[in-house]
C-alpha cells in the first residue's frame, strides 16, 4: 500500500479528532513517524489497523470511520493535484462509473506497484445502475462508498445512494455488488438517441479491417482463437486454433475468463500477458544469425524472462458470433521491443504506438533521472520529518522540565499567563543544598563542578519518577521541590519526606573529587499556602510565591548534613506512627514568633519496624570522622604553638573545665573536646579587650580564638600570627585535591595530545631540513652515547655552513623538547653546542633552552601533575611546602644551589616546583643562572668532542671541586640575609 492513502488518513485524524488522538494511535501501533511518503510502500494491513484502533478509541462503528476516510480522501487528492484526473473521466456520473476501472491505469506510472481494484457496470436504468467491485484487499467497501458519494456530489452534482446487495469471497478476491441510486439522465438521453438514430451500414472487407490491427484476435464462443493479426502471428506462428487461456493470462479486469463475462465487461479495458516468456521465441528467430551478432547480444536477453503485454477493447460482432480483441502492445521503450522480438514496422501506423515507443526511449533517461531526484527529495523530506518529530519530542520534554505539562498545554492553547496563576491552600516545599559546596568549588575546575552537579541532579531527577513531586528550579547546588501542585494532593507532606529520604540515599553515591569523600546535603521542608504561576516571556518559568517559600528556605539553612529538617506545620501533616522524629530547639523564622522544628530521622514500615537506609551508615561514618578530625586538630594546634613559645594548656573534655586559664588565652573547640592554651603575661593591666574570630565549616565545627591584650604590653608572638600558622598547617594537610581516576585519565589524554603536537613541530623542522645524503640520515637521532654525539656533530657541522639558522632552530626545538618532557639526552646536546658554536653563543643557547624547557615542564606539572604527586608523595610534599613557605624570600638562591649540585635530578625539580608553590619568576631565573656553571663544563668538552670517549671524561676532580665551591657561594646571600635580620631584631 502506497503512503498516499496512509498520509490522507493521518491528516484526516489530525483535523477531525486532534493531534492527541494521532499521538495515541502512534504509541499503541508503535509508529515512529508523523507522516508517510506518498510514493513509498508500507504494510498492507496498516491502514485497517489504524481505522480499527480509531473506532475503538472513539467508540464509532468501523463502517463510519472508513466512510469518513473515503469521503475526505477525495478532498485530499483534489488538493494534491489529482482533481483533473477525476474531472476528465466522463461527462457525467454514468461515464465516470463506466470508466472507473481505467482510473488506476492512468496512475500506474506514478505508482508502478499499485494493486488496484476492479469495477464494472451492469443493469443500467434511469434510476441508477449496479456496480461490481472486486479487490484483493478486505475491509475497504465503505471506503469506496464514501469516495463515490463525494465524487458524485463534488464533480457531477449528483446525490448518490449506495446499498450493498451482496458480498462474497472468491479465492483471494473480495467480490461486492453495489446498487447505486442516482438520477441517470445520461442513460435516458443515450436510449433516445439510439432509438432515433438511423443506422449507416458500410461494406468493408474483413481482411482490410483486420489488417488495420496487427495485434488483433478473433475469439469464438469457446474462447478458441480463430484469427490473429500479422504481428501476433509472427511471434506465435501456431496461435490460430489455440485456446485463449492457454497462451494468455488475463490481468484486468478481475473476472473469470469465459464468454459471458467478456461480453458483460465489454466496456472495460482488457489487459493480457503471455503465460510463457518470449525469450525462447527470440532464440528460435536468431538461430540463423551470424555468430558475431549472437556474441554481441547482451547477456540479459538470454537470462531475463520477457513477456508480451497487450491492452485493448473487446468488441462483439453479431454477424460473426465472435469477439474481436483490438489490442496494442505495451512497450515502454526500445529495450522492451527488442526483448519481445518486435520491430517498429510491426506496430500500427494509425495510432500512437510507434510515437510512444520512440518518445519513451528519448525521454526515459530524463524521466528516470527526474524520478530518482524526486525519490531522493521524498526520502530527504521523510527523514526531515522524522528529525522534526524527534526535535518536537525533545522540545516537549524540555518544556515540561520548565513548566508542568498541565500548565504547558493550557499555555499552548492560547490562555493568558495571568489566567494560569492559581492559589494553593496547602502544599509542601523542599529545599536542599550541598554542605561546604563553596569550598569544594574553590578546588575544582568549572567543568568538574558542572560534572558533579549534573551527576547529582540526574540521580535526584530519577528519584522524582516514583514520587508525586515537581522540580521547581535548581540554582547552583540548591534544589527546590514542591508537592501538592499543580495537581492537588492530600498526602503532599509524606510525598516530600519520602523523596527527601531517596535524595539522601542518592547523594552518598556522588563523590567529592578533591578527596574522594561522599557529598553531603542538608534538607529543609515547610508546608503552607502559595501562589503559583508563569513568570517571564522569553524564558517562562513556573514559579512559586509566598511566605511559605521563604520559610522553607530558612528551615533548610538551619538544617544539618544528612538531616531532614521540617517545620511544625509539616510535622502536623505527617503520620507520627510512620516516622521517627527528633525535636529541635525553637527557631525564629523571618522575625515571627519562635516555633518548634523537627528532624525526621527514620521511616517505619507498616509493622512499625525502623527502616535502615544507606545514608544512615554514611551518617554514622561522618560522626566518627568528625571526632577523629577534632582530635587531630587538637594535637596539631598544640604542636604548632609549642614551636614558637612555651605555653600551658589544659584539656576540657565535653565542656568541663579541668584547670584555670591565665590572662592571655587561646581557645579552640573542635568536635566534643576543647583545648585551652594559655600564655604568660603581666598582670598589671588597666583595661582588657576581647576579640573573637570565628570560622565555621560545613560540618558545624568551629574554631574560636579569644585574645586578651594588656595595656601597653605586646606578647612575644601576636595571636594573629598563631592563627595564620594554624590555618596554613591545616590547609596544607587537607586542601590539596587527589583527583579521581576519571580526571587522571582526562589529564593523561591532554598530556599525550601536547606530546604529539610537540612531536609534530619537530617533524615540521625535519621536513624543512635541507636535502640530506641518504648515508647520513641514520645520524639524525637523539644521541645516547658519545659516539652518537660525534657522528651527529660532524653532520650538523657540515650542513651548518650553508643552513645556519635551520640547524640552530632544530637544535633549539630539540633541546626544549627533551627538557619539557624530561627525556634524557640534553647533556649531549650541550656538548654539541660547544662543538658547533662559539663559546658565548653556545652558553646563551644552552642556558636559554634549559630554562625554557624547565619552565614548560613546570607549567605541564602545574596543570596535570598535582593530583599524581599528591597521590604518592603527600606527606613529603606537605613537609616540603612548609619549608618553601619559611624560605619564600630566598627561593632564587635555593634554585641556583639545586641546579648546580646533583642532590636532586633536574626533572624532579621541574615537576615538584609548582606543587610546592614555588613562583615561576624565581624558578626561571634560578634555572637560568644555576645551569650556567655545569653548562660551561659541557661546552668546553664540546670543543674537544673527538677526544672524549664517555660522558665521565667531562668531569675531573678540579671541575667537581669548582662546582662545590660555586654551590657554597650561592648560599652566602641567604646566610648574610639571616644574620642581618637577627642583628636588627636584637637592636629592637
Distance from the first to the final alpha carbon of the chain: 105
Q: Pick the residue with more confidence: 179 or 987?
A: 179
Q: Has residue 654 got a pLDDT over 70?
A: no
The grid coordinates of residue 852 equal 625554557
| pLDDT-derived band at 646, boundaries 50, 70, 90 | very low
The answer for residues whose C-beta is within 8 angstroms of residue 984's C-beta and 6 or more apart is none
Q: Has residue 8 got a pLDDT over 70?
A: yes
- Model confidence pLDDT, tens digit, residues 673-703: 333 333 333 333 333 333 333 333 333 333 3
Its pTM stands at: 0.37
Q: What is the 3-state secondary structure (H, E, C) of 352-370?
A: CHHHHHHHHHHHHHHHHHH
Whole-number Å distance between alpha carbons of 633 and 630: 5
CA 21 to chain centre: 29
Helix (H, G, I), strand (E, B) or coil at 180: strand
- Model confidence pLDDT, tens digit, residues 130-167: 888 888 888 889 999 998 998 888 888 888 899 999 88
| pLDDT-derived band at 118, boundaries 50, 70, 90 | confident
| pLDDT-derived band at 855, boundaries 50, 70, 90 | confident
Whole-number Å distance between alpha carbons of 219 and 243: 9
Q: Has residue 817 got a pLDDT over 60?
A: yes
Alpha carbons within 13 angstroms on the beta-carbon side of residue 963 total: 22
Percent of the chain residues topping a pLDDT of 70: 75
Whole-number Å distance between alpha carbons of 899 and 932: 9
Which 8-state DSSP code applies to residue 214? T
Task: Quote the pLDDT of residue 695.
Answer: 35
**Window from 382-396, 657-671, 883-897 with minimum mean pLDDT:** 657-671
Average pLDDT (864-871) is 71
Task: Quote the pLDDT of residue 321.
Answer: 85
Whole-number Å distance between alpha carbons of 805 and 964: 37
Most confidently modeled range among 100-114, 183-197, 565-579, 637-651: 565-579
Whole-number Å distance between alpha carbons of 622 and 143: 73
Q: Has residue 11 got a pLDDT over 60?
A: yes
DSSP 632-648: HHHHHHHHHHHTTS--E
Helix (H, G, I), strand (E, B) or coil at 269: strand
Nearest to 919 by CA among 846, 851, 855: 855
Task: Quote the pLDDT of residue 670.
Answer: 36
Distances (CA, A) of 930 to 278, 401, 822: 99, 62, 17
The answer for residues whose C-beta is within 8 angstroms of residue 222's C-beta and 6 or more apart is 243, 259
Rg (CA), the chain: 49
CA 256 to chain centre: 59
Task: Quote the pLDDT of residue 239.
Answer: 87
CA 377 to chain centre: 26
Helix (H, G, I), strand (E, B) or coil at 847: helix
DSSP 27-88: HHHT---S---TTSB--TTHHHHHHHHHHHHHT--HHHHHHHHHHHHHHHHIIIIIHHHHHT
Task: Quote the pLDDT of residue 500.
Answer: 92
Task: Quote the pLDDT of residue 427.
Answer: 93
The answer for residues whose C-beta is within 8 angstroms of residue 322's C-beta and 6 or more apart is 218, 219, 220, 221, 226, 316
Length of the chain: 988
Mean pLDDT (the chain) is 75
Average pLDDT (948-955) is 64
Containing 345, the helix (H) or strand (E) segment is: none
DSSP 309-339: EEEEEEEEETTTTEEEEEEEE---SHHHHHH
- Cβ(342)–Cβ(231) under 8 Å? yes
Task: Kindly report the number of other CB atoms within 10 A of residue 944's CB atom.
Answer: 12
- Cβ(148)–Cβ(137) under 8 Å? no
Q: Has residue 657 got a pLDDT over 70?
A: no
185-188 contacts, C-beta under 8 A, 24 or more apart: 185/92, 185/126, 186/91, 186/92, 186/93, 186/94, 186/95, 187/94, 187/124, 187/125, 187/126, 187/129, 188/126
Whole-number Å distance between alpha carbons of 877 and 809: 38
- Cβ(74)–Cβ(92) under 8 Å? no
Q: Has residue 463 got a pLDDT over 80?
A: yes
Task: Quote the pLDDT of residue 343.
Answer: 73
Task: Quote the pLDDT of residue 717.
Answer: 41
Tell me the backbone φ, ψ of residue 607, rounded to 5 degrees. Answer: -85, 0
Task: Quote the pLDDT of residue 718.
Answer: 42
Cα torsion 105, 106, 112, 115 to 10°: value is -40
DSSP 649-704: EEEEETT---S---SEEEEEEETTEEEEEEE---S--S---EEEEEEE-TTS-EEE
The grid coordinates of residue 797 equal 657541522
Q: Tell me how many helices (H) and strands (E) the chain has.
A: 39, 26
Whole-number Å distance between alpha carbons of 229 and 218: 9
Whole-number Å distance between alpha carbons of 13 and 21: 7
Task: Kindly report the number of other CB atoms within 10 A of residue 845's CB atom.
Answer: 21
Task: Quote the pLDDT of residue 965.
Answer: 75
CA 455 to chain centre: 16
Average pLDDT (69-73) is 88
- Model confidence pLDDT, tens digit, residues 370-379: 777 888 888 8
Distances (CA, A) of 95 to 87, 103, 129, 720: 11, 12, 12, 110
Task: Quote the pLDDT of residue 245.
Answer: 87
Domains of the chain are 3-192 (3.90.1520.10), 201-351 (3.30.450.260), 432-612 (3.30.70.1230), 623-730 (no CATH), 741-981 (no CATH)
Percent of the chain residues topping a pLDDT of 90: 5
Q: Has residue 294 got a pLDDT over 60?
A: no
Whole-number Å distance between alpha carbons of 639 and 625: 21
| pLDDT-derived band at 950, boundaries 50, 70, 90 | low
- Model confidence pLDDT, tens digit, residues 101-110: 767 666 666 6
Angle at 55 between CA 54 and CA 60, to 5 degrees: 135
Q: Has residue 669 got a pLDDT over 50?
A: no
Q: Has residue 744 got a pLDDT over 90?
A: no
Q: Pick the residue with more confidence: 62 or 281?
A: 62
Helix (H, G, I), strand (E, B) or coil at 853: helix
Average pLDDT (618-638) is 78
Whole-number Å distance between alpha carbons of 933 and 938: 9
Task: Quote the pLDDT of residue 640.
Answer: 59
User: What does the buried/exposed string (b/e) look like for 635-654 if buried means 16 or more CB atoms within 10 Å of the residue's CB?
Assistant: eebeeebeeeeebebeebee
On the 0-12 / 13-18 / 19+ scale of CB atoms within 10 A, 123 is: exposed
Amino acid at each position: 500500500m502506497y503512503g498516499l492513502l496512509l498520509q490522507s488518513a493521518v491528516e484526516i485524524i489530525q483535523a477531525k479528532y486532534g493531534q492527541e488522538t494521532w499521538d495515541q494511535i502512534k504509541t499503541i501501533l508503535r509508529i515512529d513517524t508523523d507522516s508517510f511518503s506518498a510514493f513509498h510502500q508500507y504494510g498492507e494491513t496498516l491502514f485497517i489497523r489504524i481505522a480499527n484502533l480509531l473506532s475503538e478509541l472513539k467508540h464509532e462503528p468501523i463502517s463510519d470511520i472508513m466512510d469518513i476516510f473515503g469521503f475526505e480522501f477525495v478532498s485530499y487528492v483534489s488538493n494534491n493535484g489529482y482533481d483533473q484526473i477525476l474531472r476528465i473521466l466522463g461527462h457525467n456520473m454514468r461515464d465516470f462509473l463506466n470508466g472507473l476501472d481505467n482510473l488506476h491505469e492512468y496512475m500506474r506510472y506514478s505508482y508502478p506497484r499499485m494493486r488496484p481494484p476492479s469495477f464494472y457496470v451492469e443493469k443500467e436504468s434511469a434510476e441508477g445502475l449496479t456496480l461490481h467491485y472486486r479487490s484483493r484487499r478486505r475491509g475497504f467497501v465503505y471506503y469506496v462508498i464514501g469516495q463515490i458519494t463525494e465524487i458524485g456530489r463534488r464533480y457531477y452534482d449528483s446525490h448518490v445512494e449506495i446499498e450493498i446487495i451482496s458480498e462474497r469471497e472468491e479465492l483471494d478476491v473480495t467480490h461486492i455488488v453495489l446498487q447505486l441510486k442516482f438520477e441517470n439522465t445520461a442513460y435516458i438521453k443515450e436510449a433516445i438517441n439510439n432509438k432515433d438514430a438511423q443506422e449507416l451500414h458500410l461494406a468493408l472487407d474483413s481482411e482490410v479491417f483486420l489488417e488495420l490491427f496487427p495485434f488483433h484476435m478473433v475469439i469464438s464462443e469457446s474462447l478458441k482463437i480463430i484469427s490473429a493479426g500479422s504481428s501476433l502471428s509472427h511471434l506465435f506462428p501456431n496461435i490460430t486454433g489455440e485456446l485463449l487461456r492457454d497462451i494468455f493470462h488475463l490481468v484486468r479486469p478481475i473476472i473469470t475468463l469465459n464468454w459471458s463475462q467478456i461480453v458483460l465487461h465489454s466496456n472495460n479495458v482488457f489487459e493480457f500477458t503471455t503465460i510463457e516468456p518470449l525469450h525462447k521465441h527470440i532464440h528460435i528467430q536468431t538461430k540463423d544469425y551470424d555468430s558475431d551478432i549472437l556474441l554481441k547480444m547482451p547477456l540479459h536477453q538470454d537470462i531475463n524472462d520477457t513477456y508480451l503485454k497487450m491492452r485493448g477493447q473487446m468488441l462483439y460482432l453479431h454477424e460473426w458470433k465472435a469477439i474481436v480483441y483490438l489490442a496494442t502492445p505495451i512497450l515502454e521503450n526500445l529495450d522492451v521491443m527488442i526483448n519481445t522480438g518486435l520491430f517498429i514496422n510491426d506496430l500500427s501506423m494509425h495510432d500512437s504506438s510507434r510515437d510512444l515507443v520512440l518518445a519513451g526511449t528519448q525521454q526515459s533517461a530524463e524521466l528516470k533521472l527526474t524520478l530518482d531526484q524526486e525519490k531522493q527529495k521524498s526520502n530527504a523530506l521523510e527523514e526531515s520529518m522524522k528529525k522534526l518529530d524527534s526535535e518536537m519530542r525533545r522540545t516537549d520534554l524540555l518544556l515540561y522540565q520548565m513548566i508542568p505539562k498541565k500548565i504547558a498545554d493550557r499555555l499552548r492553547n492560547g490562555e493568558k499567563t495571568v489566567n494560569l496563576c492559581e492559589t494553593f491552600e496547602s502544599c509542601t516545599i523542599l529545599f536542599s543544598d550541598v554542605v561546604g559546596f563553596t569550598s569544594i568549588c574553590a578546588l575544582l575546575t568549572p567543568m568538574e563542578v558542572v560534572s558533579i552537579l549534573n551527576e547529582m541532579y540526574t540521580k535526584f531527577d530519577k528519584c522524582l519518577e516514583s514520587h508525586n513531586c515537581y522540580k521547581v528550579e535548581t540554582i547552583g547546588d540548591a534544589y527546590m521541590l514542591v508537592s501538592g501542585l499543580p495537581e492537588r494532593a492530600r498526602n503532599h507532606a509524606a510525598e516530600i519526606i519520602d523523596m527527601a529520604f531517596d535524595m539522601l540515599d542518592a547523594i552518598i553515591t556522588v563523590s567529592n573529587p578533591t578527596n574522594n569523600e561522599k557529598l553531603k546535603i542538608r534538607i529543609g521542608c515547610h508546608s503552607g499556602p502559595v501562589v503559583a504561576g508563569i513568570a517571564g516571556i522569553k524564558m517562562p518559568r513556573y514559579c512559586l510565591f509566598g511566605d511559605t517559600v521563604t520559610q522553607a528556605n530558612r528551615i533548610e539553612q538551619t538544617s544539618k548534613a544528612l538531616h531532614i529538617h521540617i517545620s511544625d506545620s509539616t510535622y502536623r501533616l505527617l503520620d507520627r506512627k510512620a516516622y521517627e522524629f527528633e525535636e529541635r530547639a525553637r527557631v525564629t523564622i523571618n522575625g515571627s514568633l519562635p516555633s518548634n522544628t523537627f528532624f525526621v530521622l527514620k521511616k517505619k514500615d507498616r509493622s512499625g519496624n525502623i527502616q535502615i537506609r544507606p545514608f544512615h551508615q554514611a551518617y554514622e561514618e561522618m560522626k566518627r570522622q568528625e571526632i577523629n578530625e577534632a582530635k587531630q586538630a587538637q594535637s596539631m594546634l598544640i604542636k604548632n604553638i609549642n614551636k614558637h613559645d612555651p605555653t600551658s594548656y589544659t584539656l576540657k573534655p565535653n565542656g568541663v573545665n579541668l584547670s584555670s586559664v591565665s590572662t592571655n588565652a587561646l581557645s579552640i573547640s573542635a568536635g566534643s573536646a576543647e583545648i585551652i592554651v594559655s600564655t604568660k603575661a603581666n598582670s598589671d593591666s588597666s583595661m582588657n579587650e576581647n576579640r573573637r574570630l570565628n570560622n565555621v565549616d560545613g560540618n558545624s565545627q568551629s574554631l574560636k580564638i579569644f585574645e586578651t591584650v594588656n595595656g601597653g604590653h605586646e606578647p612575644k608572638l601576636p595571636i594573629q600570627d598563631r592563627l595564620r600558622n594554624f590555618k596554613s598547617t591545616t590547609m596544607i594537610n587537607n586542601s590539596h585535591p587527589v583527583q579521581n581516576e576519571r580526571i587522571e585519565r582526562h589529564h593523561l589524554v591532554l598530556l599525550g595530545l601536547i606530546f604529539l603536537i610537540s612531536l609534530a613541530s619537530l617533524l615540521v623542522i625535519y621536513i624543512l631540513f635541507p636535502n640530506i645524503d641518504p648515508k647520513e640520515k641514520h645520524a639524525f637521532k637523539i644521541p645516547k652515547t658519545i659516539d652518537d654525539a660525534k657522528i651527529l656533530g660532524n653532520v650538523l657541522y657540515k650542513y651548518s655552513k650553508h643552513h645556519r639558522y635551520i640547524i640552530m632552530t632544530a637544535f633549539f626545538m630539540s633541546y626544549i623538547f627533551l627538557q619539557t618532557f624530561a627525556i634524557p639526552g640534553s647533556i649531549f646536546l650541550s656538548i654539541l653546542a660547544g662543538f658547533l658554536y662559539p663559546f658565548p653563543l653556545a652558553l646563551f643557547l644552552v642556558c636559554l633552552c634549559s630554562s625554557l624547557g624547565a619552565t614548560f615542564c613546570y607549567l605541564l606539572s602545574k596543570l596535570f601533575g598535582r593530583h599524581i604527586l599528591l597521590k604518592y608523595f603527600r606527606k613529603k610534599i606537605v613537609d616540603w611546602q612548609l619549608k618553601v613557605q619559611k624560605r619564600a624570600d630566598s627561593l632564587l638562591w635555593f634554585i641556583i644551589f639545586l641546579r648546580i649540585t646533583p642532590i636532586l635530578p633536574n626533572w624532579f625539580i621541574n615537576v615538584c616546583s609548582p606543587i610546592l608553590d614555588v613562583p615561576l619568576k624565581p624558578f626561571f631565573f634560578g634555572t637560568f643562572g644555576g645551569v650556567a656553571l655545569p653548562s660551561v663544563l659541557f661546552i668546553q668538552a664540546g670543543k674537544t668532542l673527538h677526544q672524549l670517549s664517555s660522558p665521565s671524561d667531562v668531569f675531573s676532580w678540579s671541575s667537581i671541586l669548582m662546582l662545590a665551591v660555586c654551590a657554597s657561594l650561592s648560599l652566602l646571600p641567604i646566610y648574610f640575609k639571616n644574620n642581618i635580620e637577627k642583628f636588627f631584631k636584637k637592636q629592637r
